[in-house]
């Protein structure tokens, strides 16, 4: 099992190249983006991030002071803006209550402690919590999203009704525990999902299966799938 998971990672990295996640200027922006991108395309989130930057409120004190109503107006492009404004507020309120607004102090907490605290915040579920832990706090936590479920179910690694924690444990138990690997792997899964794995039902010509099977053997030079010269550092 370990080798297959690593092989798929290598295939994806060769095929797509490094994804450079998370696209953000600082850790706070990572967290805000993680909340805004819930069930929303990243392009829409970028517009909201720009709005927040232009208003100079993309920082703990800025979001702490701004009204929920005005905040909702700024993040309008990223869908469900009223509930997301409340979610952002609830996170920042937590940050001030527990850590006096000190983000670095929050991020320096132990993995499990911080995960429990994040999950306790209204509006932050398992995927958002793990995204914050991995990409903002650099904790060894694998992120599971809809693409991960869909793709690895189709590849036959997990059951249709596997729980979030079951899938998370599957990845963490079968991969070298490296933050850099976790970050890149999840980003590559999302890239694969966006490009090849929409919601259509499983079929024999599933592009994901196809990609993996083709890439597991030596590619002829005439193959349309050309490996990129990226080196691996697991």
Question: Considering only residues 199, 205, 218, 231, which one is a binding residue for DNA as defined by CB under 7 A?
Answer: 199
Q: Does the protein bind DNA through residue 51 (CB under 7 A)?
A: no
Annotate each residue in 141-180 with x if it binds DNA (CB under 7 A) or - if it does not, as one string: ----xxx-------------x-x-----------------
| Angle, helix 27-36 to helix 81-99, in steps of 10 degrees | 140
- Segment near DNA (CB under 7 A); pick from 5-13, 128-136, 173-181, 212-220: 128-136
Question: Considering only residues 109, 131, 141, 215, which one is a binding residue for DNA as defined by CB under 7 A?
Answer: 131
- Segment near DNA (CB under 7 A); pick from 32-40, 60-68, 209-217, 226-234: 32-40
- Smallest distance, DNA to C-beta of residue 47, A: 6
Q: Does the protein bind DNA through residue 47 (CB under 7 A)?
A: yes
- Smallest distance, DNA to C-beta of residue 66, A: 17
- Smallest distance, DNA to C-beta of residue 85, A: 8
What is the spatial distance between Cα 185 and Cα 19, in angstroms, rounded to a whole number?
9
- Smallest distance, DNA to C-beta of residue 223, A: 26
Question: Considering only residues 12, 29, 38, 212, which one is a binding residue for DNA as defined by CB under 7 A?
Answer: 38
Cα–Cα distance list, 5 to 82, 141, 185, 200, 230 (Å): 39, 16, 10, 24, 18
In the region spanning residues 72 to 111, those forming contacts with DNA, defined by CB under 7 A, are 76-77, 79-83
In the region spanning residues 203 to 232, those forming contacts with DNA, defined by CB under 7 A, are none
- Interacting residues with DNA (CB under 7 A): 21-23, 33-34, 37-44, 47, 76-77, 79-83, 121-129, 131, 135, 145-147, 161, 163, 190, 193-194, 198-199
């Amino acid at each position: 099992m370990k080798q297959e998971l690593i092989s798929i990672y290598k295939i994806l990295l060769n095929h797509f190249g490094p994804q450079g996640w998370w696209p953000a200027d600082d850790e706070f922006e990572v967290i805000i983006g993680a909340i805004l991108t819930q069930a929303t395309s990243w392009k829409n989130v970028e517009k909201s991030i720009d709005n927040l930057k232009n208003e100079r409120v993309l920082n703990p004190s800025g979001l702490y002071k701004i009204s929920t109503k005005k905040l909702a107006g700024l993040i309008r492009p990223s869908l469900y803006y009223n509930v997301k404004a409340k979610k952002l507020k609830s996170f920042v309120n937590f940050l001030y209550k527990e850590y006096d607004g000190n983000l670095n102090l929050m991020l320096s907490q132990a993995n499990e402690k911080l995960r429990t605290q994040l999950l306790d915040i209204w509006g932050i579920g398992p995927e958002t919590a793990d995204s914050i832990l991995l990409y903002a706090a650099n904790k060894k936590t694998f992120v599971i999203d809809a693409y991960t479920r869909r793709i690895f179910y189709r590849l036959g690694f997990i059951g249709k009704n596997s729980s979030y924690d079951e899938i998370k444990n599957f990845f963490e138990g079968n991969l070298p525990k490296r933050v850099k690997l976790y970050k890149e792997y999840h980003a590559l899964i999302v890239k694969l999902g966006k490009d090849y794995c929409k919601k259509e039902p499983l079929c024999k010509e599933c592009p994901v299966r196809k990609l993996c099977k083709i890439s597991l053997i030596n590619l002829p030079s005439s193959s349309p799938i050309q490996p990129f010269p990226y080196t691996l550092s697991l």
